[in-house]
Copies of this chain bind each other. A is one copy, B any other.
Amino acid sequence: MLQLVGLGLADETDVTVKGLELIKKAKTVYLEAYTSILLVDSTKLEAYYGRPVVLADRELVESGSDEILADAKDSDVVFLVVGDPFGATTHSDLVLRARELSIPIQTVHNASVMSAIGATGLQLYNFGQAVSMVFFTESWKPSSFYDRLKENHTIGLHTLMLLDIKVKEQSMENLARGRKIYEPPRYMTVAQCASQMLEIEETRGDGICAASKLAVGVARLGATNQRFLAGTLEQLSESDLGAPLHSLILIGRRTHYLERDYLKEFAVDDLFERIWNEDYEDKK
């Protein structure tokens, strides 16, 4: 059996009791280690589980899934995913491949950023589609996120933005030369995301990501040192929320006063409440 087990958001104790039992009994335990990270590293997980964990990078999951599934035919294989197994990154291709091979599948759900983000006080009902923000380069600044933000904005909805992480990436040169040398991991910060939004606003100009638009920066969601920072995009572009993972919420106009009351504790300064009261509340 292929057992997809969500690990939740922060540390080794965020696993569910059901998930932990499967981990302890499985023949092999893989950890999907390229689309998100837990805030503790895998040696800590190994110590906690009392057993080895095989890191599964993109290469192994996408082209080596046969290797993962070979064992799952006759024994139990656990595939650990940070957050929920069907959260921001679905592993439906792996599951489809398992189905083709008639391998039974079990899913153990857990907290995902897609719902835990409600901890900011913003109501999940008021969120539209989520979007991803990738690292810009000198020559590649994809702006399709702006279209998605605009769609949500038109309806008055909040948007959760999931920020790029680069794990086990090769430089262009190393890739060209076929050298398996990897760059240090990079995690996009709230400040970088806000800056990229302001940059695209300059060319698009619809005001969706104007400097005065309200947003919430989120760091280390679910950890004891989690931080929320509410302010304008300009303020967030100058923020420092510390260690990863970060995400950002662009606030929509279909708001509820309880959302404001909850958020104002996390505001950079009074500007947040002033703009909210003038431009947001009941302004949809």
Q: Which chain B positions have C-beta within 8 A of A96? A: 258, 261-262
Q: Which chain B positions have C-beta within 8 A of A222? A: 107, 109
Q: Which of A79-99 contact B (CB under 8 A)?
A: 83-88, 90, 92-93, 95-96, 99
Q: Which chain B positions have C-beta within 8 A of A110? A: 8, 16, 110-111
Q: Chain A, 94-116, contact with B by CB distance < 8 Å: what is the 0/1 string?
A: 01100100000001111110111
Known: A84-B116, A96-B262. A90 touches B123 (CB 8 A): yes
CB-based contact A115/B118 at 8 Å:
no
Known: A115-B84, A123-B90. A13 touches B21 (CB 8 A): yes
CB-based contact B13/A15 at 8 Å:
no
CB-based contact A129/B130 at 8 Å:
no
Residue of chain B at shortest CB distance from A262: B92
Q: Which chain B positions have C-beta within 8 A of A18? A: 11, 13-14
CB-based contact A124/B87 at 8 Å:
yes
CB-based contact A129/B131 at 8 Å:
no
Residue of chain B at shortest CB distance from A113: B115
Q: Which residues of A contact B (CB under 8 A)?
A: 6, 8-9, 11, 13-18, 20-21, 83-88, 90, 92-93, 95-96, 99, 107-112, 114-119, 121, 123-132, 151, 155, 157, 222, 258-259, 261-262, 265
A160 to B: closest C-beta gap in Å: 10
CB-based contact A262/B95 at 8 Å:
yes
- Pick the residue among B83, B111, B123, B128 that contacts A128 (CB under 8 A): B128
A226 to B: closest C-beta gap in Å: 9
- Pick the residue among B9, B15, B118 that contacts A86 (CB under 8 A): B118
Known: A96-B261, A99-B265, A129-B126. A119 touches B155 (CB 8 A): no
Known: A128-B128, A262-B96. A90 touches B115 (CB 8 A): no
- Pick the residue among B21, B114, B121 that contacts A124 (CB under 8 A): B114
Known: A8-B110, A17-B20, A115-B115. 17 other contacts (CB 8 A): A6-B111, A86-B121, A87-B124, A88-B124, A92-B259, A92-B262, A96-B261, A107-B119, A107-B222, A110-B110, A110-B111, A111-B115, A112-B116, A125-B129, A128-B129, A129-B155, A129-B157
